[in-house]
Amino acid sequence: MRRILVVAVLVLAGCSGGQRAAEPEHVVRPTPPAALGGGSGTVEGPGVTDTRITVGMITTRTGSGGGAFERAVDSMDAFAAHLNAQGGLLGRELVVLHADDASDCATYGRLLSSLRTEVFAMVGTWSNQDGCGQEVLDADPDFVSVHGNLLTPTLYRLPNAVSAITLPPGLPTGGYEWVEQRHPDAVTRAAALYSTHIPTNGLAVHATAESVGYRFAYSRGIGPGETGFAEDVAKMADAGVRVVDLSGTGPDVVARFQRESARQGFRPDAVIAPTAYSPGFLAEVGDDAGNLVAPLPYAMFLGEDRADNPALDTYLTWLERTSPGAVPDLYGLGSWSAGVLFAEAVRAAGPAVTRARLLTALTTLGPTTANGMNAPSEAGRHDPPTCLAVVGVRDRRFVRLDPVGGGYRCLGSYRHI
């Protein structure tokens, strides 16, 4: 259950704000990856020698939820191996120092405090306890922590806590607008289920969808451990619901909802569920996901985009090489992306790199994409993506619905809450 809740955080969180202005609709395509390795220059700071740059990474490997982030660990190691095969970073080997917080807040804080004097920066971290390091980052504003994703919303207030997959509190409107363009008469008969584990889920779903014309005939927050949705499906059918939003839930909920809908003969025009794109979902849902719409701010990391996305192919190649048999997931994609972002910022901060110059580089890089694996965002400014790849299911396979041939359709705005 822990794994699913973490995935939902990537889509929804809570804070105050407004709506970022929409850009004209267009498509951006991946470009050939830029070289990250090699180069020369000076680097000053903890964890740095003439031959090495050591970075830290904290994940939850034991305790409650232990093991959920294993692919993040594998992917960060794969990135270091890839970078070192290119000559390292500014002529130095990249070394990753791993730490396990055992799903304990105090442990996370102690680890981060200790690593602050041992490593140049934190790179690739994934942990439900990441907010427990806020005091450490507050106290040392030049100590940069580049996460796969920030799972504690208040960390987005810190300039030195950066998320490679930048999804601050709120939701993009693009997925809702994409469905509205194809089912304009359906969105005024919408329904939503959302996890109450994240208090602002309901607010985010309603505020974002309603801002582009959705009207909800049924809505309910679901608690941890709920497994039955027969009554919800029956009420949606009775209310004439035609679009169901499950953005605030995990893939297990989506699968059970789809199976129950099929059992009752309820088939809305679209079920919006970004988290459904995940390992294991198709085996759970069977033939009952033909109306799935999964708007993603990143490439189809399970491999469907591999031929059209050179950076994704590089990631999967090195993951297979360093961790044979590993199944890619969102955590792995985020950690590899954090490694790319860190390397880009170090090169931009050169030729004389310090922690302070690294932070400045992160805030001035402009839009980054991990070489096309993610939709464009400005991670150093916590500016989220408004472009998306839309994924569906056909014949028990994930397929790209839009844009065809790879890339991301830029549509709508980001609704901050």
Range of weakest confidence among 16-25, 267-276, 362-371: 16-25
Q: DSSP 3-state assignment of 177? A: helix
Reported confidence tier of residue 255, pLDDT bands at 50, 70, 90? very high
Given CATH 3.40.50.2300, say whether it is the number of domain 170-296+388-416: yes
Pairing of strands 352-353, 26-28: unpaired
From the centroid of its chain, how far is CA 99? 21
For the chain, give every domain's residue range: 28-167+305-383, 170-296+388-416
145: which 2 tokens? Answer: 């922590």
Reported confidence tier of residue 1, pLDDT bands at 50, 70, 90? very low
| Interatomic CA distance for residues 136 and 117, integer angstroms | 11
Q: Which residues pair with 192 in a beta bridge?
A: 219, 245
| Interatomic CA distance for residues 347 and 39, integer angstroms | 8
Who's near 99: CB < 8 A, 6+ residues apart?
Answer: 56, 57, 58, 59, 111, 115
Beta-sheet strands, E only, within 33-140? 42-43, 52-59, 93-100, 122-125
169 pLDDT above the threshold of 60:
yes
Reported for 219-224, long-range contacts at CB under 8 A and 24+ positions apart, including other chains, are 219/191, 219/192, 219/193, 219/194, 220/192, 220/193, 220/194, 221/193, 221/194, 221/195, 221/196, 222/193, 222/194, 222/195, 222/196, 222/249, 222/253, 223/196, 223/197, 224/1, 224/5, 224/195, 224/196, 224/197
Summarised one tens digit per residue, pLDDT across range 63-73 is 987 889 999 99
Q: Which residues pair with 219 in a beta bridge?
A: 192
Number of residues that this document lists for the chain: 417
Q: Are 287 and 259 in contact (CB under 8 A)?
A: no
Who's near 366: CB < 8 A, 6+ residues apart?
Answer: 378
Given CATH 3.40.50.2300, say whether it is the number of domain 28-167+305-383: yes
Report the pLDDT averaged over residues 180-197. Answer: 96
Q: Are 189 and 237 in contact (CB under 8 A)?
A: no
| Interatomic CA distance for residues 303 and 313, integer angstroms | 8
Secondary element (H or E) of residue 370: none
Average pLDDT score over the chain = 93
Give this prediction's pTM.
0.93
Summarised one tens digit per residue, pLDDT across range 19-54 is 545 657 899 998 888 889 999 999 999 999 999 999
Q: Are 105 and 62 in contact (CB under 8 A)?
A: no
Q: How far is CA 160 from CA 14, 231, 255, 348, in A?
A: 20, 46, 38, 16
- Half-sphere exposure (CA, 13 Å, Cβ side) for 9? 24
Same fold yes or no, 28-167+305-383 and 170-296+388-416: yes
Report the pLDDT averaged over residues 215-238. Answer: 95
Q: Please report where in the chains the tokens 């890089």 appear, as a residue.
A: 365
Q: For residues 84 and 34, which has the higher predicted lDDT (pLDDT)?
A: 84
What's the pLDDT score for residue 23?
59
Summarised one tens digit per residue, pLDDT across range 364-417 is 999 999 999 999 999 999 999 999 999 999 999 999 999 999 999 999 999 998
| Interatomic CA distance for residues 69 and 147, integer angstroms | 13
